[in-house]
Structure 1
């Protein structure tokens, strides 16, 4: 009988939807701006750039509206004394599980928009070819607590994280 993989316990912070929406809006504005300037300045290309601009703005708008709540519904995380668990993905769900004994470094990052929204990202680097595990969209106080607890747990865990 196959064992069912249970979703990690914690959701990302609800404010992460605002962060993701701002990022989607920024990309849409930049792409739309470049295409719009091209449309205005390169007259012979208007026949091509006009439809491309409309499609880009449409896709950007759909992404802006749908992506943040979808990501919020899917992204989950949990840290225990044994492992770090993260679930993410859009159409394909990615589960990452890193045993504590494999953790090498724990980093907390807060970009300007994250700071304004009180958010942070915790990156857990492991001895894995798959790369680090990221816990995105955490409340900044929660991220600080998680990083501190991970440091304490990994120091108390025997092994060399290789």
Structure 2
């Protein structure tokens, strides 16, 4: 970190994260769109204008499931320096989270069942801050393990009480 502030983080998630995020969005949006279509078919007298509205909604759900992960991949970044871990997220509002090395209390990795199919993992850095943990999502599982080991070693070598 420089005295003038943080530069934008350099690293993106693993490219496989786009497929994982798409799968997650589809697991949410396909049942939602399907429920709208089934409700239209079973519980209405099927006016044409409502059919068009349901079709547009269902198509919008599927488009969102395909577009949102790609947009997130273009925007989300992370970086680890000698002084801090930081991330940037958000399409309209960029949210930065910064955890100084001296404040890190825990470093965790997580690999859900769908993540394992894509060979991915998340690294979560926890501090005593009320703002919550920093999660670096969608990393290759080898990189995530290496990053967790590096952060653990680095925080142990950093003076401070992590509170």
Equivalent residue number for residue 18 of structure 2 = 17
- Cα RMSD (Å) of the superposition? 2.0
How far apart are residue 45 of structure 1 and its match? 7.7
Equivalent residue number for residue 123 of structure 1 = 124
Secondary structure of the residue aligned to 2:14 is: coil
Equivalent residue number for residue 83 of structure 1 = 84
Given the superposition, is the C-alpha separation of residues 4 and 82 from structure 1 closer, same or farther in structure 2, using an over 3 Å criterion? closer
Whole-angstrom CA distance in 1 between matches of 2:50 and 2:123: 40
Equivalent residue number for residue 150 of structure 1 = 151
- Provide the TM-score with structure 1 as the length reference: 0.88
Given the superposition, is the C-alpha separation of residues 48 and 158 from structure 1 closer, same or farther in structure 2, using an over 3 Å criterion? farther
Whole-angstrom CA distance in 1 between matches of 2:104 and 2:50: 48
Whole-angstrom CA distance in 2 between matches of 1:80 and 1:4: 13
Unaligned runs of 5+ in 1: none
> What number of residue pairs does the alignment pair up?
160
CA deviation profile, 1:29-81 (whole Å, cap 9, x unmatched): 11012222222321358678645532432321231232122111111111122
Unaligned runs of 5+ in 2: none
